[in-house]
A and B are shown apart, each in its own frame.
Chain A
Amino acid sequence: MKITPEEVRYVATLARLSLSEAEVEKTTLQLDTILSYVEKLDELDTSSVQPTTHALALRNAFREDETRASLSQQEALANGPLQNGEAFVVPRVI
């Protein structure tokens, strides 16, 4: 096996997901199939190949640091599942 149920549970925690035991089992099997397929990449010697993160040679895009119109507080809050008119409300953190 490329991946164990323990690893799936751990990665789910990192990804802020909560999986049922049945989901862990199914995900482990499917990931194992997918990761086994992905091992195909090891057929290629890439020791001297630079990685590509963007297909076009992009340079840093700078702009002037100017104040521009943006969303109002009300507009920004409008989609919040819980908000008090000033801020998003979340469960107590500390």
Chain B
Amino acid sequence: MELHALTIHALQDLLAKGEISSLELTRSVLDRIDGVEPKVNAYITLDSNNALVQAEAADEQRKRGHGGSLCGIPLSIKDVLCTKGLRTTAGSKILEPFIPPYDATVIEKLRNEGAVILGKVSMDEFAMGSANENCAYGVPKNPWNIAHVCGGSSGGSAASVAADECIASLGSDTGGSIRQPASHCGIVGIKPTYGRVSRFGLLAYASSLDQVGPLTKDVRDAAIMLKAISGYDPRDSTSVNQPVPDYTAALVPECKGFTIGIPKEYFGAGLDPEVEQAVRKGIALLEEAGAKTVEISLPHTEYGVAAYYIIAPAEASSNLARYDGVRYGFRDHDQHELLEMYRHSRSQGFGEEVKRRIIIGTYALSSGYYDAYYKKASQVRTLIVQDYAKAFAQCDLLVSPVTPAPAWKIGAKIDDPLSVYLSDILTICTNLAGLPGMSVPCGISSGGLPIGLQLQASHFAEEKIFQAAYALEQRLDLAGNKPEL
């Protein structure tokens, strides 16, 4: 197999033995990008020259015996994370010229581990979307079938991993934005517990829900990446001061002693039969690995989408108030009155979905509607949190589909925002409760599109997720399965 197609751990072996250099590896990935990027369109900003410089530096470090856990590994980064000196757009026209003066904490951590940053990948504008169709820089395509969406909002991350245009990627997940594109692109994606990973330098969408996490080619790579980015950060007051375990130590291919909950609400009407079949097969394999299963009820699941589409836009309307044409980004220089300058800069700079969510959020928080919408949604959020607490008193993990159906065709839902919102129903409650969740590949549909299986656990129980995901991955052996591009 060519170097760009390999995993972090396979490449670390080759690098450690001196069989390859990071420079060769980085060149292999850049060649791959040259070859397939016209079809996939995953990157917004490619930083090739600087990537080669970083690769040489990594090779030097390794020679001196200082290589970190990601030394010399080329990664793509969702364009929502600040990278010092490298343009960061959040997929929006309003940030087209923005060059961050600092690195996000997670980027600092990746650099400390020796990672090579290739560039910034596509996303729905400000992470608002489920198909990566809301991006000012074009729509990335699903590497398995370029007529289909790659999912969103971390669509560029998922597409670049699946197409071998990087070795792994960082994304962010506010209502499923790591897990859903990972599922649609046949890769692994984990949204960590809220507070596990610093949000400093992550351009905020909905601060009580946002969390950064890795998208990778296999479970072991996800464990390596999550360890590298996790940990308390004094610059993020919501990050949690808890020791970071070595997640790779949890990669035991068995589930003895695990009780796996099957939430019946996640297998309801509207679930594609092929998705259900693939996930049920995954559950059977987890049983083979030693897990016991129990049916669980999360009765408020069906209210998750409604609660989310009040809470997230409400937080977004406040977070996105900072884009006003004064300190950074796009400004309408033709306006000579302050309020008009704000209004015109924002209206021209933001895309349709972002404006829609700002308006929903502003409406939900406005006087006279606050109790009916924002407060109500926050109370329903409590009911969802309580559902999970009851569930995790009976089981270690919840297993379900990630999405109701495989990736849809590009453009199929573009004029129907509610139908797109409803496709998030299986991933949204995880964020409302701040839990960790993973998508791990569990099959391919008859149409040739990947299907993912979701694992959710209680706060800071990522190790259980890794163990079950690894046990499943070992039994399914989908690892050699690659899209043809």
Interface residues of A (CB under 8 A from B): 3, 7-8, 11-19, 23, 27, 30-31, 33-34, 37-38, 40-44, 46, 49-56, 58, 61, 63, 71, 75-76, 78-82, 88, 90-93
> Chain B residues near A54 (CB, 8 Å)?
194, 208, 238, 434
CB pair B237 A16 closer than 8 Å: no
- In the complex the two chains form, what is the Cα distance from A3 to B373 in whole Å? 13
B351-380 CB contacts (< 8 Å) to partner A:
355-356, 358-360, 362-363, 366, 373, 375-380
CB pair B341 A78 closer than 8 Å: no
From B64-72, B381-389, B449-457, give the one contacting chain A.
B381-389
CB pair A56 B101 closer than 8 Å: no
* With contact pairs A44-B383, A71-B102 given, residues A34 and B346 touching in the complex (Cβ less than 8 Å): no
CB pair B347 A18 closer than 8 Å: yes
B299-344 CB contacts (< 8 Å) to partner A:
300, 302-303, 305-307, 309-310, 317, 321, 324-331, 333, 335-344
| B448 interface contact, C-beta 8 A | no
* With contact pairs A41-B303, A53-B378 given, residues A61 and B237 touching in the complex (Cβ less than 8 Å): yes
A18-B344, A55-B433, A71-B101 are known; give 7 further A-B pairs, CB within 8 A: A7-B363, A38-B306, A41-B307, A41-B376, A44-B303, A56-B238, A82-B331
* With contact pairs A31-B360, A40-B303 given, residues A55 and B434 touching in the complex (Cβ less than 8 Å): yes
- In the complex the two chains form, what is the Cα distance from A56 to B434 in whole Å? 7
| B418 interface contact, C-beta 8 A | yes
* With contact pairs A16-B343, A34-B421 given, residues A41 and B317 touching in the complex (Cβ less than 8 Å): no
| B109 interface contact, C-beta 8 A | no
- In the complex the two chains form, what is the Cα distance from A13 to B363 in whole Å? 11
CB pair A17 B307 closer than 8 Å: no
- In the complex the two chains form, what is the Cα distance from A42 to B310 in whole Å? 13
CB pair B373 A17 closer than 8 Å: no
Out of B310, B362, B373, B377, name the residue touching A14 (CB < 8 Å): B362
* With contact pairs A34-B418, A81-B330, A91-B336 given, residues A52 and B385 touching in the complex (Cβ less than 8 Å): yes
In the complex, residue of chain B having the shortest beta-carbon distance to the beta carbon of A60: B237
* With contact pairs A34-B360, A34-B418 given, residues A93 and B195 touching in the complex (Cβ less than 8 Å): no
The digit string for B129-164, where 1 denotes a CB below 8 A from any CB of A, is: 000000000000000000000000000000000000
Out of A14, A49, A90, name the residue touching B338 (CB < 8 Å): A90
CB pair A16 B339 closer than 8 Å: yes
> DSSP class of B's interface residues: helix, strand, loop or mixed?
helix
CB pair A78 B355 closer than 8 Å: no
CB pair A88 B363 closer than 8 Å: no
A39 to chain B, nearest CB (A): 8
> Chain A residues near B363 (CB, 8 Å)?
3, 7, 11, 31
> Chain B residues near A92 (CB, 8 Å)?
338
- In the complex the two chains form, what is the Cα distance from A58 to B434 in whole Å? 12
CB pair B459 A80 closer than 8 Å: no
> Chain B residues near A93 (CB, 8 Å)?
338
- In the complex the two chains form, what is the Cα distance from A88 to B435 in whole Å? 41
| B432 interface contact, C-beta 8 A | yes
Out of B234, B237, B240, name the residue touching A56 (CB < 8 Å): B240
A41 to chain B, nearest CB (A): 5
In the complex, residue of chain B having the shortest beta-carbon distance to the beta carbon of A50: B382
In the complex, residue of chain A having the shortest beta-carbon distance to the beta carbon of B305: A37
| B97 interface contact, C-beta 8 A | yes
CB pair A55 B379 closer than 8 Å: no
CB pair B194 A52 closer than 8 Å: no
* With contact pairs A44-B303, A55-B194 given, residues A88 and B208 touching in the complex (Cβ less than 8 Å): no
> Chain A residues near B340 (CB, 8 Å)?
18
